[in-house]
Amino acid sequence: MIKKKPFGSDIKEQLRASALDKAHIFILANGHIRGSLIHATRLVNEMRANHGLGILETLTLGHAYMAAALMATPLKGEDRIQLKISCSGPIGGLSAEANALGEIRGYLHKNPIPVEKAPESFDLSPFFGAGILTLTRHTQTARQPFTGQVILAYGNIAQDVAHYYATSEQTPTALSLSVHFDAKGEVTGAGGLLLQAMPGATEEEIVTLESLVASMPGIGEAFSRKEKAEDMIMNTFAALNPKIIDQRRVEFFCRCSADQLGLYLKGLPEEDRKDILAKGPFPLEITCHNCGSMYAFSQTDLSGLLS
């Protein structure tokens, strides 16, 4: 993978931003409620730079990246999860994939999203239209991936993922996703929160949780003010005895490489290989749709690969 613009003006800032971007896994009410809070400011900024996204596109794909990251927190080993949306609106569709290592990648079907004028709010439902949300889990212990689908009920990634959990897995879920932009349109804070009620959660605990969540500030805005994720968890949910039980890496990362794409080129039919060697173009540029990394193969490189 080639990161076009690592987040931060120098190495020190990049390391600091990397240290902040994490998934914080916690429990409430003696384990009756489980939650994950992610700080994803660097993730969303690097995603935006690599894919060359505007504000609407950053908001849409950023929400999908953070949703996938939150859903991936229970995964282990080589497990991974893929969130796909296909829809009739201008967005057209998207894909976001996250694995147990906290690596997230994905793309919009249309970039830029074809709209006549800039959106007047952060309500994305008019841009989704009718559609289907598909969630696929690839786990080491299963012979085949598990796939579930729901019709888009809200045109809002957070609400539609929560709807998926409620209908397909019978797990009461609340999800909040937030990207904060400054006056110049730059992303200054991004984060998300996933809460799920476990068997044994009481009505009183759920009512208390709903009240606490309603009182929370915008997560992206809070992170733009340099509020710490740990403090947000401990202060917001103090009435439910919060306990942070784990922290995991969250990063915009793709395992594509020049070598990998070279193997793809070598696997082309002989007729196509001969055509490339004869006509080019030189250099041959191939872009990974999952992360926007571009790899250039010179005429000499191609002669070695395809002859």
DSSP 239: G
Query: What confidence tens digit (pLDDT) does each residue in 269-282 have?
Result: 999 999 999 999 99
Exposed, middle or buried: residue 101 (CB in 10 Å: 0-12, 13-18, 19+)? middle
Structural domain range at position 301 = 258-306
As a whole number, the mean pLDDT across the chain is 95
Q: Is 286 helix (H, G, I), strand (E, B) or coil?
A: strand
Q: What is the tally of structural domains in the chain?
A: 2
Domain match, 190 and 281 both: no
The C-alpha atoms of residue 74 and residue 97 are separated, in whole angstroms, by 14
Domain match, 161 and 268 both: no
Instruction: With respect to residue 6, please indicate whether it lies within any of the assigned structural domains.
Output: no
Q: pTM for this one? A: 0.96
Q: Which has more pLDDT, 217 or 37?
A: 37
Query: What is the share, in percent, of the chain residues with pLDDT greater than 90?
Result: 90
Kind and range of the H or E run holding 107 = strand 103-108
CA distances from 219 to 13, 193, 216, 231 (A): 21, 8, 8, 12
Domain match, 232 and 203 both: yes
